[in-house]
Amino acid sequence: LRNVLMMTSTVSGEGKTLTSLNLGICLAQELDHTALVVDADLRKPMVHEYLGMTAEPGLIQCLTEDYPLEKALVKTGIGKLVVLPAGGTVPNPVELLSSKRMNELVRELKDRYPDRYVLFDTTPVLSFAESQSLASIMDGVIFVVREGKAKLNQVKLALETLKKNNNLLGVVYNDSHLVLKHDDYYYSYYSR
């Protein structure tokens, strides 16, 4: 079952956290699915802020203090959406997120509930190494690009990096200002 997915971007500010949450909410509102969003951005965690909850306890405590995973999971009240907050920040997340314990935790999350989608919100690919390390243990990667944020050569480099040994599922193109012209009419998102 391919139910463990990672969201990343080229640089910060491209909307990967909101994309993770929005996808999680959509999946959690389906009748036969639950969704878990894991805040694995241990440099600048934002999931808890968007949902108005505390960051601790969370992923860091589960990885470093043997904190029970089930006690760190937070029900959001939004459909069947559950969140594992980051648990704070750490100075060098690469070691923590590439540890044996992290591999075990991902396996546990994958196998515990076969009908649950697990979405990892991570750091941008070009800025930090931990997203590349995490991508190698995920079932798939969703790449978020915000129009006008990263330079084209940066996006290409990030995509090449992700494609090497990972299952890149697709790209979410955020904040597009594209207007299509058809004959003499202009179509935007709201025109129909």
What is the rounded distance in angstroms from the CA atom of residue 24 to the CA atom of residue 37? 6
What is the rounded radius of gyration, in angstroms, for the C-alpha atoms of the chain? Answer: 17
57 cis-preceded (ω within 30 degrees of 0): yes
Pairing of strands 185-187, 180-182: antiparallel
Q: Check residue 182 and give its pLDDT.
A: 57
Q: Check residue 148 and give its pLDDT.
A: 77
Q: Check residue 30 and give its pLDDT.
A: 81
Q: Global pTM?
A: 0.86
Cα atoms in the 13 Å half-sphere on the side-chain side of 94: 9
What is the rounded distance in angstroms from the CA atom of residue 88 to the CA atom of residue 61? 9
64, 96 Cβ separation under 8 angstroms: yes
50, 76 Cβ separation under 8 angstroms: no
Q: Check residue 181 and give its pLDDT.
A: 59
- The helix (run of H) or strand (run of E) holding residue 27 is helix 16-28
Residue 145, token pair as written in the block: 């690009």
What is the rounded distance in angstroms from the CA atom of residue 30 to the CA atom of residue 45? 27
Strand partners, 174: 146
Q: Check residue 180 and give its pLDDT.
A: 60
Q: List Cα–Cα distances, 166 to 131, 173, 177, in angstroms.
A: 11, 20, 30
What is the rounded distance in angstroms from the CA atom of residue 101 to the CA atom of residue 147? 36
What is the rounded distance in angstroms from the CA atom of residue 120 to the CA atom of residue 138? 9
Per-residue pLDDT of the chain (192 residues; tens, 9 = 90+): 789 999 998 888 888 999 999 999 999 988 778 899 999 999 999 999 999 998 889 999 999 998 999 999 999 999 899 999 999 999 889 999 999 999 999 999 988 877 889 999 999 988 888 888 898 899 999 988 888 777 888 888 888 888 877 788 888 887 776 666 555 555 444 444
Q: Check residue 163 and give its pLDDT.
A: 81
